[in-house]
Every structure is written in C-alpha cells, then in structure tokens.
Chains A and B, each alone.
Chain A
C-alpha cells in the first residue's frame, strides 16, 4: 500500500467539518478517480494525504509513515500534488525555472536538472513557452506547466486536482496516456475530477465522496452505472455508458465503449431511423 487512510476526520479551524470517518487504501499501480459534489471534501482529503493538513481524528500513512511524523517536503518526494488552482503553485519567473524548482530543491546536479527540464518541456508540449512568465499563459497552458513541474520529480503517487480544466481533446488524450503509462510502471495516480467522461475513459477505480464521507468505491460500471449513487453525489453517467445500460434494460446488449464499436452493434440491432 502506498497510502492508508484510517478513519480520518478533518474539521477546519473555522469549525467546518470537511472529512468524516474516511478509510481508504491506495495500492501501487492504481489509477483512481475521486468524484463527488462541490464541497464534498475531495481536495481536503488530498491535502491530508500530502501532509498539508493533519487529521483531527484518525491517521494517514504514506509508505507506512504517518503524515504527522514527517515533513511536507519529505512527503513530496513520494506524493506529487497538482493543485486545483495553478495559481497556488506557480512561483518562478519563467516556465523553465518553474520546472527546475523541484529538482533543485532535491539537490539534483545541474546537468541532470537541465536534462529533466528539457525532457519535461518536450513531453508536455511546452517548449515554445520556456522563457515565458507562467502567469502570462492561458489557463490551460498554466495547468500544463503545473503538471509538468510536479512530474519532473517522477513521484510514485501523483494526485491531480481537476487536471482537465482548460485542456483540449489532444491534451486530455496525452494526459490519459500518461496515466496509463504510470499504471504500467506500477505508479499510482488519484485524479480528482468533475469530468466524468475523462475519468470513465482512463481510470479503473472510482471513489465517490458525499458530505465528507466515502459513498461508493469500486469498478466503473458498478459505481457510474448505479443511479442511486449518481443521484446522491450530483453526478451524471458518462454518455455512452448511460446509453449502453439503457439499451441493456431493453435487452439490447451493446459491447464496447467507443462510438465506432457501438455503432456497429446498433446497426445490426435497431431499425433505421427515418429523417424527420
């Protein structure tokens, strides 16, 4: 287990209770979507995992060590966190400097830093922005810089808080491929997101929070195909899963998740619609 969350609660100093009695274990190689209504406690839970907040009850273990017994800086070598708002983590005067911050803090040699920064600029399509001030970028570009700056540390656990905001289809595709590659390398990723279509396409475990608690945790079709869960968590099913389940209720079995596959099945099973 890379993370063990044991009966954790958290109440903000203002008195707002954000997380209540959550237990969750994350194994190596898992790609988890953390879903749930605005204010459900997702970001708070993730801040407990990176040690930015400490539980008011229970404990969080990262690689077996309680977050209260180590430092945020040390935890950061295991858990990389991309904030929900990129403004909270962009500090350097240029994109290239931003990507070098992490390795420099870990006392990487100058040669190795340069190498990693170059690789990250190329991998995230940021080469043309290397000398730009991060705050002079578009929202989507800023988020890609924030993501790249965390990824240069190659963290065993990566937490992404709303990574698809501002991202076009190609950037999402690239992000999804990155999640798959991490999974193949037995690295873990938690994606906090409202983008159900993205989560359904790339994650394999779905954890749903509501009112500070974990409401559901399981495989995609079981969680996203359950109307009660969706209703309680203000979620909507991914469109093509929804369609597949609705057809199944009528006895039409359509395999596949991709439009082309589904189209082939529908053609053989349903009558042609007439143009209106």
Chain B
C-alpha cells in the first residue's frame, strides 16, 4: 500500500484564538482509502482539511506546528500548481469557492491553471458537468443559481481537476437526497476505478458511512476515534461525542442489545431487511393481511 497522506503531530492556532483548533493531530491514509471525518460543530474538521490542501499554513496566518506529507512529499515542497492538480477540495460553503461568473468558466478555471491545452480543458469541463448532471446550467451565471445548483458547480469544479486525493467538506449539504446519493456513488466509483483517496467531513453519517473504510471522530481539536465504521458504531463513544448515529445503525444496535446478532452491522434499510430473517413472520402475516384486505374490500362493496 502506498501512502496518500500523513499528518504528523500537527497543531494549529488561528490568530488571537484562545485555544488551538488542532492539537497534535496525527492521521495517515493509504491510496484508495475513504475516510469519514465526524465530530461536533467547531471540533476542527474543516481546519484539518485545510492542512491537507495547503491552505494552512500557506494562506492562513496562525501558529502552525508539525509535518504534512502528501503522496510521499512534504506538502510545503510541492509547488502550488502541482498540489492543486493532486489535491481536490470542496468547501463547506459553495459560495466561498466560486471564482468565475459563468458556470462553465468556473469549472474550467482549475484545469486552465494546470496549463492544459484547450481541447483537454473542454473535455474535462464537459465530463465534470455531465458527472454531476448540470450540463443545462453551463451558460448560466453562478450568481443566479439556487444554493444546491451552486454546490453542484463546486463539485464539478473539483472533479474537473481529476485529483488523486479529494477533500470534501460537507459536500452535499445543499443537495436533495437523490443528488447527494448520486454524488457519493460517483465518488465511490472513482475510488474503485481510479484509486481516488477520499476524506469527507460530514455530520450526517447516514449519508456517508456506507462508503467509508474508516470513521475518524474529533473532539476539541484532537482525534479521539479512528476505526472501521461498524467498530466505531458498536464502540458506543459516538453518542457521548455528540455524533448522531445513522437511524438504521441505531436500530440494529438496539436489536443487538436484545440478543440479535448481525455479522456486518447494517447501515441502510435494504441491508437491515436483507439481513434480518423475517420470512417466517412475513408469510404468516401476509396470509392474515390478505384476509384482512379481502374483508375490507367486501365491506366496502
């Protein structure tokens, strides 16, 4: 396995802040891993992602300590344009990320800065717009879009860079559930096909966990849990950390406390229904149900 990134003992304090936003954080991921980053609002998730894309310490002032490596090199030794091509970023607030006034120029901005030839840029823009389903918005002004449409532009812009490491900060917060699901499926596919490494900061674990290899939970600027999702969920610490469990996982855990055993902890309704043996009860009740329906139909007639 090759290392995608590593943070060694990273601390960071924003200017004039009373306490550090990150305190001696160490975290590493192999190429192709999918990490979900969770924790209470203000615990340092966005700050950690900013350390991985070089925003900290390059563009943000503050006290920085520690070492960050991306694909085997110290991050401050990678030239900025090279880093931009390797590490993609989707900001938590899409408006912070919009750089051009028209959708297609916004998506083209990154690839243009990589110095690619025009045909290659066009191909990447076309592909990215298609991938997030916003070809129809291509000539629209970014300021005349709904918030979810703006977020899709931001997603397309990050995909157009074809990064090897993708950092996603609550990337589907403004999207309807179907679009959110589509995007996460897409990321999972890119990961399978192109060995994409993903770090996804998210409050809604029900959306994200089905795709994750690891759940990393933070509290007050430190990493306090780093486990496969099922282990973290069964570990029982997430609740006390203020992290909401996916409803299906909460139900499965409640069933386990009552004596059921799930091999792999189900995270979706499909998984739960598929895993629980409901056939016996089902058949019995289906018969009763049919009878009841017939009676009702007769009564109505």
CB closest chain-B residue, reference A253:
B285
Contact partner, A263, options B141, B174, B254, Cβ 8 Å: B254
Complex alpha-carbon distance, A276 and B266, angstroms: 12
Q: Is the CB of B41 within 8 A of A239?
A: no
A112-159: which residues lie under 8 A (CB-CB) from chain B? 136-141, 144
What separation, in Å, do the CA atoms of A92 and B141 have in the docked complex? 29
> By the criterion CB–CB under 8 Å, are A272 and B260 in contact?
yes
Closest beta carbon of chain A to B216's beta carbon, Å: 15
Which chain A residue shows the least CB distance to B205?
A169
- Min Cβ gap A200→B in Å is 10
User: A273-B277, A274-B277 given as contacts; is B176 within 8 A of A235 (CB)?
Assistant: yes
Contact residues of B between 168 and 199, Cβ < 8 Å to A = 170, 173-181
Q: Which residues of A contact B57 (CB under 8 A)?
A: none
Given contacts A138-B46, A168-B41, A194 and B275 within 8 Å (CB-CB): no
B105 within 8 A of A: no
Pairwise interchain contact B42-A138, C-beta atoms closer than 8 A: yes
A38 touches B255 (CB 8 A): no
Residue A167 interfacial (CB < 8 Å): yes
Within the assembled complex, what's the spacing in Å between the Cα atoms of A165 and B204? 9
- Give the interface segment out of A50-58, A98-106, A180-188, A243-251: A243-251
A87 to B144, CA, bound (A): 16
Please name the residue on chain B nearest to A165 by beta carbon. B173
Asked, given contacts A250-B285, A263-B251, whether A139 binds B280 with beta carbons under 8 Å apart, the answer is: no
The answer to the question of A27 belonging to the interface, with a C-beta cut-off of 8 Å to chain B, is: no
A273 touching B275, Cβ below 8 Å: yes
A-binding segment of B25-33, B69-77, B115-123, B242-250: B242-250
A144 / chain B contacts, CB cutoff of 8 Å: 41
Shortest distance in angstroms between A86's beta carbon and chain B's nearest beta carbon? 8
Question: Given the complex of chains A and B, what is the CA–CA distance between A39 and B178 in angstroms?
Answer: 13
Indicate if the CB atoms of A166 and B170 lie closer than 8 Å.
yes
Bound Cα distance A138, B201 (Å): 13
Whether the Cβ atoms of A43 and B244 lie closer than 8 Å is no
Q: Say yes or no: B146 contacts A170, CB within 8 Å.
A: no
- When distances are taken between beta carbons in the complex, the residues of chain B under 8 Å from A194 are 148, 173-177, 180
Say yes or no: B255 contacts A165, CB within 8 Å.
no
Q: How far is the CA of A38 from the CA of B151 in the complex (A)?
A: 10
A111 within 8 Å of B (CB atoms): no
Q: Is B269 an interface position by the 8 A CB rule?
A: yes
B297 on the A face (CB < 8 A): no
Contact call B42/A270, Cβ cutoff below 8 A: no
> Within 8 Å of chain B (Cβ to Cβ): is A84?
yes
Given A85-B147, A235-B178: A251 and B282 within 8 A (CB)?
Answer: yes
Query: With the chains together, A270 CA to B144 CA distance in Å?
Result: 52
In contact, A166 and B203 (Cβ under 8 angstroms)? yes
| B149 adjacent to chain A (CB < 8 Å) | yes
B95-A169 in contact (CB<8A): no
> Is B273 close to A, CB under 8 A?
yes
Within the assembled complex, what's the spacing in Å between the Cα atoms of A247 and B285? 10
Q: Does B268 have its Cβ within 8 Å of any Cβ on chain A?
A: yes
Chain B residues with Cβ below 8 Å from A247 are 278
> Across the interface, do A166 and B258 meet the contact criterion of CB distance under 8 Å?
no
- Residues on A with beta carbons closer than 8 Å to the beta carbon of B262: 273, 275
Check B41 against A171 for contact (C-beta < 8 Å).
Answer: yes
Q: Which residues of A contact B146 (CB under 8 A)?
A: 38-39, 43
Chain B residue numbers with a CB within 8 Å of A260 are 254
Selected from A39, A239, A274, the residue in CB contact (under 8 A) with B148 is: A39
Residue in contact with A141 in the complex, picked from B42, B263, B264, B277, CB distance below 8 Å: B42
With a cutoff of 8 Å between Cβ atoms, the chain B residues found around residue A226 in the complex are none
Distance between Cα atoms of A242 and B176 in the complex (Å):
17
Chain A to chain B contacts (Cβ below 8 Å), 11 pairs: A38-B146, A39-B148, A137-B42, A139-B93, A140-B41, A164-B203, A166-B203, A172-B244, A197-B247, A240-B247, A273-B276
Those 5 A-B pairs whose CB atoms lie nearest each other, nearest first = A38-B148, A251-B285, A140-B41, A169-B244, A276-B263
Contact surface of A with B, Cβ cutoff 8 Å: 12, 14, 16, 36-39, 43, 84-85, 87, 136-141, 144, 162, 164-172, 194-197, 233-236, 238-240, 242-243, 246-247, 250-252, 259-260, 262-264, 266-267, 269-276
Given contacts A38-B147, A250-B282, 4 further A-B contacts (CB under 8 A): A84-B147, A168-B242, A252-B285, A276-B264
